[in-house]
Structures are given as structure tokens and as C-alpha cells.
Amino acid sequence: MPSAPSPPPASPSKGLTIITTHINADFDAMASMLAAQKIYPGALVVFPGSQEKNLRNFFIQSMVYMYNLAEMKDIDLQRVSRLVLVDTRKAERIGPLAAVLDNPDLEIHIYDHHPIKSGDIAGQLEVHRITGATATLMTEIIRKKKLSINAEEATIICLGIYEDTGSFTFSSTTREDLLAAAHLVSKGANINVIANLIAREISPIQIGYLNDLIQAATRYVINGIEIVVTTVTYDHYLPDFAFLIHKLVKMEELNAIFALAQMENKVYIVARSRTESVDVGEILAALGGGGHPSAASAAIRGQALAQVEQALFRELHRQIVGMRQARQLMSAPPIVANADVTCAEANNLLTRYNINALLVTANKGGHDRLAGYITRQVIEKIIYHHLGHVPISDYMNTEWVTVGPDAELMEVQEKIIGHKQRILPVMEGEAIVGVITRTDLLNMLVQSQTQDDSAPEAFRRSASRRTRNITHFMQERLSTRVLETLRNIGQVAKGLGANAYGVGGFVRDLFLYRPNEDIDIVIEGDGIAFAKAYAAEFKTRIHTHKAFGTAVIIYPDGFKIDVATARLEYYRSPAALPDVEMSSIKLDLFRRDFTINTLAIQLVPDKFGRLLDFFSAQKDIKDKVIRVLHNLSFVEDPTRVFRALRFEQRFGFSIGKLAVSLIENAVKMDFFKRLSGRRVFTEIRLILEEDNPTPAIIRMGDFDLLKVIHPTIVLNSALIALLDEVKGVIAWHDLLFVETPCMRWTVFFMALTRSNDTDTCRDICRRLELPARHEQLFCQERTAAEQCLHQMEYRLPATDSALYHHLHPFRSELILYMLAATQVKAVKKAISKYYTQLRKTQPIIGGNDLIAMGLKPGPLFRQILDAILDAKLNGRLATREDEIKFAQRWLSDKDPSS
């Protein structure tokens, strides 16, 4: 370690000296900056970002005069020639000040007690030693140089030591920390002030936040070490988050805790550890944060809470090392290939999953059994020799060793290394339950940084979930039929050795107290095989879709159950349809659109009614917020944007801040142009079929999404007013004409496109790939209806019969559209009269009556019946006798001789 510098000049002749620390400075950082100012008199103290609330209250308000503070906006960063870093050496943690690092001939001095990592800033002068606080190192320099400090300065510096050592209770506390504190006390440090700040009382508001953290806390045992993880979400920044975690550790006597909080557009992590087995500084450093073994933090922008949580679990499993069994090391379910698969197809599998070896299975007695394995090296040589078309069974390795799930680390190590076997199957009897690769073993032994970072691997290694049994709740909310059906599903799945789950909107709506008997089932196993078994037992029909592993079970009365195989989806490109593979329930839920749709209920008999909540769906339902599970959600499937808006308005929720920014990015990048018109139309139609689609359409306008339908559609007050009119007209129709079918979405669609001419409407219809009957409705028929409406607004028909003949050619949807579109009250009244009183008017007599009068069938019949209809519409005929007499008079007037 270089010796401490002699007190430098106040400001180098060629520029400025600034002292700074990490963003979200704690007491140790503040104390170290003050101490650095003693060593570098005249230097400017600059904060790179926000500070904790208690620091603002204490330091900025009470002790601001001690610091030679400068605002970043007032400094020409290009003039900085010396940068003094305290309590950090990471470029990403000094915010905008990192730009100074590019200054030519910059002199960097670093004072830090955190472990040195690759990628850290290097300095010409570095004062580094592992102590409980950086303030300890600064105090030693002040003492050795005999620099004078007053009682207030001593108090501030001592406070930094007290905080970072947990009042000397953290395992990271060293002898030097105690000696430094003793020196500061001898200089007048006020222990009462320190105690008030370190051990301050918790406020009633903070108690509420603390209760949120306790309720959300889940305990996990990872490689024999108990870890507590708690996740919360707030729409505002919580300045005392670290203080509350400190309180929680003391209250619950926790050995290790990771607290994650989504606040505004960032995810914050605060971690504390009292065990050497969990180095929170190392773990959070992998996520872009920092700290030391007992206390660390991170602030992550641009990722959803679920993503950060899974990244955290990946690091926990990678870095917390203990005696492991094969079941803890293995990846499951294993990725396998049938012996008949070609070498070229196997190469695609290796590339898709970023793996270096593949287990091979062959059918024996109706079951897939292990037949060998093949490595990437072998496959690449086969491809090189243009043999990609041959089956892998021709070149697979047929000599292998296996382990059971309970095999200890030593056995795993001996078999992988001793047999030079790149991939080790984990077997229960003849069933393959998992695999352990050579990379898995190396990662565990040396904590290698080269572990596969793929999401599926991370999820296989993570066991995070929140569970509770909700059978009683289901009995209260579900009909007897649905409850019995769910139990039957569980029984059939158990008979097949599979797991069954109720998932999706069906489960979500249980907690929203909304009726929903559209049952969606996910099978961990073969969904189609399950559907066939269920149909055979309960005498139902099924439709299957082998490409997606899905089926629909249909009862004789039309009741349906949607069945899917638990699957992993990956997208070849933005907006593409997904490719599907077998997977686990957690992977299946992670592929879904929003956290609120990730709840699952186990249905097998011994676990019936057990709710799984991997992604804090219950919390988001309670908070009425729509969140995505990962930040590529709208890239992979842009149609989710429309669903987000639809759910937001249907449930009265709000879209989370991260999701809003991701929607804006999807619009900016125009991912929607890659969507097929049919997929866009499906989502637009679902929005227009909502009870009140207007708010969702307005939100589409907010995000500039109406251009996805057509660039000419613009949200304005006239369009909003027309949509509201349509809503009122349809509500009127549904109340008075329950038995009359109406495609309500078509009325809203015509309103949405009213400003477009026939040719533009035709372009829209073809862009959305609408059926010919819908194109006919929205183009030719709507144009005719608008022309009729224009004529009526210019001059109303003089008689009811004329009104009838004006409007009778148009179907109900067009009549409702005209009723909403006109602003002329007399026209509205006329259209309403037609629809309620005239529309179904018909003559009582018919052709047989005319034959009885001695007439022969022919064109005359239509003339007579039309004349009767007109007279009846105009109120001149009421009874059968009236119509017969009218027919006789009409004939007499036409031909007196008759």
C-alpha cells in the first residue's frame, strides 16, 4: 500500500481538485469526504447523486459549513486535474462524474476499504486496506499527519465508522476500527449525537414499510445456508430503505438478507450478512452494485423486479458454496435429443441452449431411455465433413456413468473428471431427472465467472416462490361444477405421473372477485396425452395443436377447458411467433405477459389448492399495477402492449413506470411493423369488445399506437365524443333488445375509422387481414349508410314508410353506427323510431290469402304486399280484415273490372 500523500496544494496549477464518493452516499462516505478535505485543503466536495434523507437532514442542514461544497452544474469537468475518490473505486458508482476519467493527465487518488475487483478504477495513489469503514483509513492518515480536527468533525467521521461497522457488531469490524474511533472520541466526538442517528426511533410511517418487508420476506436454504429475500414495490423513492433493513436484521436476528424494492424506475437492493458464507459485496458486485462482505447495495435501472430477483438468485446459487448433492448441482428438466435426430438438428439444439453436450434417448418398451451422449466437438467435426444429415446415434458415445440425486460432491467430481465425461446424467431408476456438466462442477469448485447466464438455467437453479393453500377460498368463489372439474383434472394428471395447474386469467380473476369460468390448465408433462386421457374418462371431445403442445377439451354442452404443456418459449426475432419446448411450471409462467397473470394453483390431489406465486403477482394485484416480467417483453411480443392497455382499463389498474418506458421504446423502434395484420386485428378487436373501449383507445392515442391501425387515425375530441356516443347507443341497444345479436366491436371500429374514405378503409382492412365479409361491411356498406345519413340530415323522410325504406337495407350494426354518428336530434329520433317501432313491421296476410282471393301467384303479389306494408307503416291498417279490404280496394283501383 503506498504511503499517504503529503498535504497537496489546494488546487493544482493546471486545474481543479474535487473530492467525491459513490451515489447514495452513506455516513461512511460523507465522513470520508470530510476527512479527505482535511488532507486536501481547498479541494471542492462534489456529490455525484442523491443522498439518503437522514444525511440531508443532519449534514446538509446542520454541518454544511464544514464542507467546501460545489454543485456539479457549476463545475467545468474538463478543468478537473485531480480526482479524489473515497469509499468507492467503481466508475459506474460515481454517476456523471465518471466523465472526468477521460480528462488527459488526470491524477487519481483513491481511499477505499472495499475488496479490489477487476475493472475497478486504478489510481496513481491508492490507500486501501480491508477495514470496517473507509473513515478508519482516513482517521489513521489524519492521526499520523497530526492534522487538527474539532469536535464536530470528529463526531462526523466517527459516525461513519459506527454506521459501517454496525456499532462494531459486524463481522467485518477490525482492530483498526476500534482504535480509530477511540482516537476520534479523544478529539471530542459526541457519542450521544452518534447514538441518536444510528439508533434513532422508527416512525409510524416506517413501521408500515417495515411490515411490508416482513410480510414479503421468504426464507430459502441455498446450499445449506439460510437466506432471506424480501421484495416490495413503491411508486416513490423510500429514503430510509437501508435503515429499515438494518432494523429488520436486528428484529429477526437474520444471518443474511437481500431486500429488493422497485421504486420509481429503478430496482434497489440492500443486503446485509452476518455470516462468512455469504459475501453480499461480491454477490451485488455481479449485479452492478458494491459494498463489503457484510453490507452492500445496488441500484439497477431498466429491468423489472422479477428479472433482478432472478439475477440475484443466479448469483446466490453461484457464489454461496457448500457441500452439495447432485440434486442441488443438476439442471432440470434435462435437454435431450432422440437417437433419430440428425447431427445438424442436434447442432441447432446445442446452439439454441448454449450447451456443449447433449444426452441422447431411445424408445425402449414405450419409454424414452438413456442411450448415450454426444458433444459439441464431435458434432462440429461431423458438420465439417458434411455429414449433418446422419442420425446422432451413429456417432454418440455409448459408454457412460451416472449418479443418483443424492450423490455427494466427491462422487460427482470423480465421475466427471475420472471418466473424462463432459455431461453426467442424474438418474432415478431409469428416468433421467437432470444433468450435471463439467462447467457446473468447475463453477462450483472455483466460483468461475463463466457460468451460462441463460434464463432457463437460472430458473432451474432457483427455487424462489411464495405458496399458500387457497382451497377454502376456491370453494367460496367457484361453482360446484368448476371445483369438481378441477379435482378431476388433478386426478387424471396424477394417474399419468404429471402435475396439473390452473393458471392465467382464471386464477387472476379469483383474486379480483370477477366471474371467469374460462379454465386454463398447464400440464408438467405431455398436455396432449393428458387431454386424450381426460376425454376418454369423461366422454368429452378434444381438439389438439401438436406444434404448441396444446389441446381444448369440449363437453357436450359446449363447456371448454384449454390445456397447455408447460413450455419454454424463445423468439427467433422481435414479433415472431414463439418456438416451444417442454419446460417446468415456473418457466411456463415466466413466458407470460404480466406478473398479474403468473399465479398458478396446483390441482393434483395431495397438493390441491396450493397457490404458487413466483413473481409477486398477489402484491401487484393488491397494488393495482401492471408489470412486465422482463425488459424484452414487448420486443419479443409487441401485442402485449395492447393487452397492457386493455387490462389497465378493464381492472382500473395502472401500468408500471418501467412498463411505460418499455412501451414507449417499442413504439419508437416500431416493432409493430413486424406483426402480421391478423395478430394486430385480434388485439384491436379484444379492446373494442370491452364494455367500454374508449379509455383504452385514448391510451392508445397517448402512446401513439393508433398509427398501427393506420397513420391517418388521430385521437381528437371529435373522435372521443363519437366513441362515447357509440358506447351510449350500444348500452341502449343491449338494454332494450337483448335477443337481437350485435357485433358491438364493429360499431366502434366504424367510429374509429369514420374519417377515412372507402379506399383508405379498404387498405386498413387488408392491412389487418380482415375477412371479406368484414371488408364489405366497413367499406361499401358503411359508405352507403353514411350517404343515407347525409340525405336524412339534409331532408327527413316525410312518412314512416319512406323512413323504413331508407333504413331497412342496413344491418343492425350500421343502424347503431348511424344513430351514434348523427348530431341532428330529429334524425336521431327518426332512426330510433325505425329501430324500436318500424323495423320488424310486416303484413299479416300473405300469399295464401291472396290466392284465396282468386289471384294467381306472380309479381302482383309483391306489389300488393308492399302497398299493404306502406299503408301499415303509415298507420292506416291495424287488423287482418283491414289488410284484406285494403288489398281488395288496391286491386279495384288498379283494375276496376276485377
Q: What is the pLDDT of residues 314-352, one digit of tens each?
A: 899 888 865 467 877 788 788 899 999 999 999 998 888
CA atoms within 13 A of residue 516's CA, in its CB half-sphere: 16
Give every CB contact of residue 227 below 8 A, 6+ residues apart in sequence: 219, 220, 221, 256, 257, 258, 278, 316, 320
The closest of 485, 168, 433 to 326, measured between CA atoms, is 433
Question: Angle at the Cα of 174 (from 173 to 177), degrees rounded to 5?
Answer: 90
Q: Which residues pair with 259 in a beta bridge?
A: 230, 270
How many helices and strands, by DSSP H and E, does the chain display?
39, 28
As a whole number of angstroms, the distance between CA 31 and CA 20 comes to 11
The confidence score (pLDDT) of residue 4 equals 46
Q: What is the pLDDT of residue 783?
A: 94
Residue-by-residue DSSP string for 426-469: EEETTEEEEEEEHHHHHHHHH--S-----HHHHHHH----EEEE
Query: For the whole model, what pTM was predicted?
Result: 0.59
**pLDDT value of residue 106:** 92
Say what the pLDDT of residue 377 is. Answer: 82
Nearest to 503 by CA among 602, 628, 605, 619: 602
Asked if residue 276 lies in contact with residue 238, where contact means CB atoms within 8 angstroms, the answer is: no
Rounded to 5°, the CA angle 243-244-249 comes to 100
Report phi then psi at 229, rounded to 5: -125, 130
Give the position of cell 444429415. 389
pLDDT computed for residue 636 by the predictor: 81
pLDDT of residue 415: 86
Q: CA 796 to CA 791: how far, in whole Å? A: 8
Distance in angstroms (rounded) separating the CA atoms of residues 898 and 893 = 9
The 10 Å CB-count burial string (b at 16+, else e) for 416-431 is beeeebbbbbbbeeee
Listed in sequence order, the residues at least 6 apart from 522 whose beta carbon sits closer than 8 Å to its beta carbon are 500, 501, 503, 563, 564, 565, 566, 585, 588, 600
**pLDDT confidence of residue 7:** 46
Q: With the CA atoms of 94, 100, 106 and 112 taken in that order, what torsion angle do they form, in degrees rounded to the nearest 10?
A: 0
Q: How far apart (Å, rounded) are the C-alpha atoms in residues 126 and 88?
A: 11
| Calpha distance 30→45 (Å, rounded) | 10
The 3-state secondary structure of 644-684 reads HHHHHHHHCCEECHHHHHHHHHHHHHCHHHHCCHHHHHHHH
DSSP state of 57: I
CA diameter of the chain: 137
The candidate with the shortest Cα–Cα distance to 834, out of 816, 855, 852, is 816
Q: Look at strands 357-364 and 336-338 and give their pairing.
A: parallel
- Per-residue confidence (pLDDT) for residue 234, from 0 to 100: 87
| Grid cell at residue 223 | 446450499
Amino acid at 181: A
Q: Which amino acid appears at position 866 of this protein?
A: D
E-strand stretches of 573-656? 579-582, 600-602, 610-613, 625-626, 654-655
CA gap 486, 506 in Å, rounded: 12
Print the SS3 string covering 729-779: HHHHHHHHCCCCCCCHHHHHHHHHCCCCCHHHHHHHHHHCCCCHHHHHHHH
- Cα–Cα dist 263/240, whole Å: 12
Alpha-carbon torsion, ordered 687, 691, 693, 695, to 10 deg: -130
CA–CA separation, 622 and 606 (whole Å) = 29
Q: Give the integer Cα–Cα distance in Å for 324 and 332.
A: 16
**886, three cell numbers:** 285494403
Decide the pairing of beta strands 357-364 and 367-375. Answer: antiparallel
Instruction: Report the alpha-carbon distance of residue 672 to residue 703 in Å, rounded.
Output: 13
Record the cell numbers describing residue 564, joined without a space: 397447455
Positions in the chain whose pLDDT score sits under 70: 1-14, 49-65, 199-202, 224, 321-324, 443-467, 567-583, 738, 895-898
Confirm if 347 and 379 have CB atoms less than 8 A apart: yes
**Cβ contacts of 271 within 8 Å, gap of 6 or more:** 256, 257, 258, 259, 280, 283, 284, 291, 295, 296, 297
Looking only at the bridges linking them, the beta strands covering 107-112 and 125-128 are parallel
Amino acid, single-letter form, for residue 647:
F
Burial zone of 113 (CB within 10 Å; 0-12 exposed, 13-18 middle, 19+ buried): buried
For the four alpha carbons of 273, 274, 275 and 281, in that order, the dihedral sign comes to positive
Task: Give me the pLDDT at residue 695, please.
Answer: 94
As a whole number of angstroms, the distance between CA 358 and CA 377 comes to: 11
Q: N- to C-terminal Cα distance for the chain?
A: 128
Within its chain, how far is the Cα of 675 from the centroid?
Answer: 20
The DSSP secondary structure of 394-432, one letter per residue, reads: GT-B-----B-TT-BHHHHHHHHHHTT-SEEEEEETTEE
Phi, psi of 862 (to 5 degrees): -65, -40
What pLDDT is attached to residue 248?
A: 85
Q: Burial letters for 333-354: b for 16+ Cβ neighbours within 10 Å, e otherwise?
A: bbbbbbbebbbeebbebbeebe
Cell of 67: 464542507
Note the pLDDT of residue 576: 57
80 φ, ψ to 5°?
A: -75, 120
Cα gap 544→542, rounded to integer Å: 6
CB 485 within 8 A of CB 519: yes
Cβ atoms within 10 Å of 878's Cβ, excluding its own: 10
